[in-house]
Amino acid sequence: MKMDPIEMISRYLTDAHDMIFACDVEHRITFANNTAGRELGIPAKRLIGRDLLLGVEEHSRSLAEDLFQQTLDSIDWHGELLLRRADGMVFPAYISASPITDNDGKVERVLVVAHDITKRKEMETEIRKQAELAGSIIRTAPIGIFTIGIDRRIMAANRAFVRMLGGTRPGSLLDKPFDTISARLNPALVKSVETGLAGKETSALNQPLTGGGPEDLTVSLTAVPLKGPDESVEGVLVILENRTELVQVEEQLLQADKLASTGFLAAGIAHEINNPLAGIHTVIETLAKRVRREGGNEEPYQRILANIDRIKDIIRRLLEFANPERIQPQKADLNALVIQVMDFFKFHPIFRRITVEWKLADDLPEIIVDPKQIQQVFHNLAMNAAQAMKDTGGTLEISSRLISQRGKQEIIEIRMHDGGPGIPDENLKRVFDPFFTTKPPGEGTGLGLSVSYSIAKNHNGDLSAVNHPKGGAEFILKIPVKKI
């Protein structure tokens, strides 16, 4: 038997999943389906004749009255309200209210459809919390993070990235063209970002951030394309990790391993050479005396003795390198120590065409070091600088300063910047290797800088070499302040 259409509609309304009400212009309920009764905790039949607004939470009731009046003006309304169940439980619902008019267009009923959106609200709240957490993590992350849209404008930048560039406010970069910062970045990093914008994930490991000199940061960059649902590129996410300290530690560990291995080998070689060399020296010295007594030419023998003395000096350096003297700590002024060393060089032939320019801080505290060992470092660095400028002359700039680090130990920094040709990039990481030298044979053993590096480490400090932006090489000695 075919069901009557009106009966079909009636059944649909009665059993629909949403709450459905009909009410008169006084908002008295004239119809309520089973879902409405179940959701409000009152049987549908008992809802008939009740005020529809009594099912609205008290604080939302005045708003509901205004909206109901709007519906009576033949205007549909859709929005969210808080409803109250019979047991007092309040829940959010999405409401659609539509006027029902007679043949003359006069509103005689209002149809209300309500849907419980509790789960949706819970999901929205959870999504919002997750978004806030993600935003907080990005803002406070110790790694630099920024995003660029396909229009090449900066969409987001966190504090760490802004600090890397020397700024303080992340908001200052928002919506700015990428070109405003790309000119300050190392070209290798910019190329990686461009590759990301082109749709390919890429990375750059241990690169200078800006190429701006010895104080520059070393970073690793990862660029990940941001894609839409259709896989089209909408921008790029860029992550920058500050690896400056980590790279320094890695280099220091590698250097320490080299020094330890070479020192062990050097000690064995030095002892093996010393004994026969002493015998050779005695024999040659005896022959020289005999030739002298007989009126012969002893000059060849003296040359041999001079070369033996040179070999002895190299062996002595090897032994110092392999078995450095223990630190004899005492209070010292680093400014005074470097001045004393340079006073010693005043009349040295290699310094005749060299001008020393001083930029010493006057607030350096006296600290505990081994003065002789520190002066040996200054001596080696000064000689190295002079040899770099021996053919052209130039200026040796010596500076000092006190570095205060928040939450960390203070550091005294001494810099020696020469006016020479600088150090080839391929040699920068090798200058402290034992026996590494670019000097001609007979002019250096390649041990001076290695010994200096060991002395710095024995004082819990550091010695590094860079090429100065204005030209020439610069050696930087850092000694932590151990006050008296």
Q: What is the mean pLDDT of the chain?
A: 83
Residue 479 pairs with which residues in a beta bridge? Answer: 412
Q: Is residue 423 part of a domain?
A: yes
What number is the average pLDDT over the span 363-377? 89
Strand 394-403 and strand 354-359: pairing? Answer: parallel
* Band of pLDDT at residue 18, cut at 50, 70 and 90: very high
What number is the average pLDDT over the span 468-476? 90
* Band of pLDDT at residue 141, cut at 50, 70 and 90: confident
Token pair listed for 373: 């060992």
CATH code where residue 49 lies: 3.30.450.20
In this predicted structure, what is the pLDDT of residue 104? 85
401 C-beta neighbours (distance < 10 Å), count: 14
470 in the same domain as 352:
yes
365 in the same domain as 398:
yes
425 in the same domain as 402:
yes
What number is the average pLDDT over the span 351-372? 90
Q: Is residue 378 part of a domain?
A: yes
Q: Is residue 130 part of a domain?
A: no
Token pair listed for 371: 């003065």
Residue 97: is its pLDDT beyond 70?
yes
Write down which residue in 298, 322, 346 finishes a domain.
Answer: 322
220 in the same domain as 286:
no
Contact 477/461 with Cβ under 8 angstroms? yes
What number is the average pLDDT over the span 389-412? 86
21-35, 267-281, 356-370, 458-472: lowest mean pLDDT where?
267-281
Q: Which segments of 380-438 are extended strands (E)? A: 394-403, 411-417
Residue 119: is its pLDDT beyond 80?
yes
115 in the same domain as 10:
yes
3-7, 82-86, 134-138, 341-345: lowest mean pLDDT where?
3-7
- Cα gap 112→103, rounded to integer Å: 20
- Cα gap 196→175, rounded to integer Å: 19
Q: How far is CA 474 from the centre of its chain?
A: 25
Write down which residue in 289, 322, 355 finishes a domain.
Answer: 322
Q: Give the chain's domain count.
A: 4
Q: Is residue 132 part of a domain?
A: no
- 3-state SS, residue 4: coil
Residues 6+ apart with CB under 8 A from 131: none
Q: Is residue 24 part of a domain?
A: yes
What number is the average pLDDT over the span 307-315? 73
In this predicted structure, what is the pLDDT of residue 7? 65
* Band of pLDDT at residue 310, cut at 50, 70 and 90: confident
Q: Give the helix/strand (H/E) hosting 476.
A: strand 473-480
Write down which residue in 218, 242, 266 finishes a domain.
Answer: 242
DSSP string, 5-24: HHHHHHHHHHH-SSEEEEE-
65-79, 153-167, 363-377: lowest mean pLDDT where?
153-167
What number is the average pLDDT over the span 352-357? 90
What number is the average pLDDT over the span 43-64? 92
DSSP string, 277-339: HHHHHHHHHHHHHHHHHTT---HHHHHHHHHHHHHHHHHHHHHHHHSPPPP--EEE-HHHHHH
* Band of pLDDT at residue 443, cut at 50, 70 and 90: low
Residue 340: is its pLDDT beyond 80?
yes
115 in the same domain as 170:
no
187 in the same domain as 296:
no
What is the percentage of the chain residues whose pLDDT exceeds 70? Answer: 84
230 in the same domain as 286:
no
Token pair listed for 482: 């151990």
Contact 334/364 with Cβ under 8 angstroms? yes
Query: What DSSP character marks residue 152?
Result: S
Token pair listed for 217: 């940061």
In this predicted structure, what is the pLDDT of residue 169? 74
Radius of gyration of the CA atoms of the chain, in A: 42
Residues 6+ apart with CB under 8 A from 185: 209, 210
In this predicted structure, what is the pLDDT of residue 261? 56
- 3-state SS, residue 170: helix
Residue 114 pairs with which residues in a beta bridge? Answer: 19, 95
**Domain membership of residue 284 as a residue range:** 247-322
- Read off the pLDDT of residues 216-234 as tens digits, 9 standing for 90 and up: 788 889 999 998 888 898 9
227 in the same domain as 150:
yes
Q: Is residue 263 part of a domain?
A: yes
In this predicted structure, what is the pLDDT of residue 51? 93
Contact 422/401 with Cβ under 8 angstroms? no
148-152, 174-178, 298-302, 395-399: lowest mean pLDDT where?
298-302
362 in the same domain as 457:
yes
Contact 432/257 with Cβ under 8 angstroms? no
* Band of pLDDT at residue 409, cut at 50, 70 and 90: confident
- 3-state SS, residue 77: strand
Q: Is residue 134 part of a domain?
A: no
This prediction has a pTM of: 0.45
Q: Is residue 133 part of a domain?
A: no
In this predicted structure, what is the pLDDT of residue 250? 65
238 in the same domain as 253:
no
Query: What DSSP character marks residue 360?
Result: -
456 in the same domain as 350:
yes
